[in-house]
């Protein structure tokens, strides 16, 4: 299972025909303790780079952008039920935000792989 990253610190992992999306550990660490998250509705479609969700911490609020274009097919019930700690504790596992059906799989291939993202973060 390969994970790809954006320069805005979202990750996306293909699981069959569905893309799982969340924020990177780096982003979660920068935010600090998450106190609120707003997820999009199932059925909404987003273009790559569009504002898709919002995450807030005691320090700041940040938009979460769609790393690839597609339609939301599921949102994370843990986050929807206000279990925001999961974003801090497991941002790249149980703390995923949405699952979407990609409309352009080439967008996934064009994103950074884990090694390229690690190099990018080192430079920040």
Q: Can you tell me whether residue 45 is helix, strand or coil? A: strand
| Model pLDDT, residue 1 | 67
Beta carbons of 114 and 5 less than 8 angstroms apart: yes
Neighbour tally for 7: CB within 10 Å: 12
Please state, in angstroms and rounded to a whole number, the distance separating the CA atoms of residues 122 and 64. Answer: 21
Fold category of 3-122 in CATH: OB fold (Dihydrolipoamide Acetyltransferase, E2P) (2.40.50)
Predicted confidence (pLDDT) per residue in 39-73, tens digit:
999 999 999 999 999 999 988 999 999 999 999 99
Predicted confidence (pLDDT) per residue in 20-41, tens digit:
999 999 999 999 999 999 999 9
Beta carbons of 102 and 33 less than 8 angstroms apart: no
Beta carbons of 38 and 75 less than 8 angstroms apart: no
Say if pTM beats, i.e. exceeds, 0.75.
yes
Residue at token pair 């999961």: 86
Please state, in angstroms and rounded to a whole number, the distance separating the CA atoms of residues 9 and 24. Answer: 5
Predicted confidence (pLDDT) per residue in 98-110, tens digit:
999 999 999 999 9
Band (pLDDT 50/70/90 cuts) for residue 116 is very high
């Amino acid at each position: 299972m390969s994970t790809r990253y954006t320069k805005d610190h979202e990750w996306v992992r293909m699981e069959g025909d569905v893309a799982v999306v969340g924020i990177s550990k780096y982003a979660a660490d920068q935010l600090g303790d998450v106190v609120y998250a707003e997820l999009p509705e199932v059925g909404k479609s987003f273009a790559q780079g569009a504002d898709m969700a919002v995450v807030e911490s005691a320090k700041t609020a940040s938009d979460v952008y769609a790393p690839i274009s597609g339609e939301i097919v599921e949102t994370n019930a843990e986050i929807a039920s206000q279990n925001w700690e999961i974003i801090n504790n497991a941002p790249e596992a149980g703390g995923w935000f949405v699952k979407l059906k990609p409309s352009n799989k080439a967008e996934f291939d064009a994103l950074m792989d884990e090694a390229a993202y690690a190099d990018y973060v080192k430079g920040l």
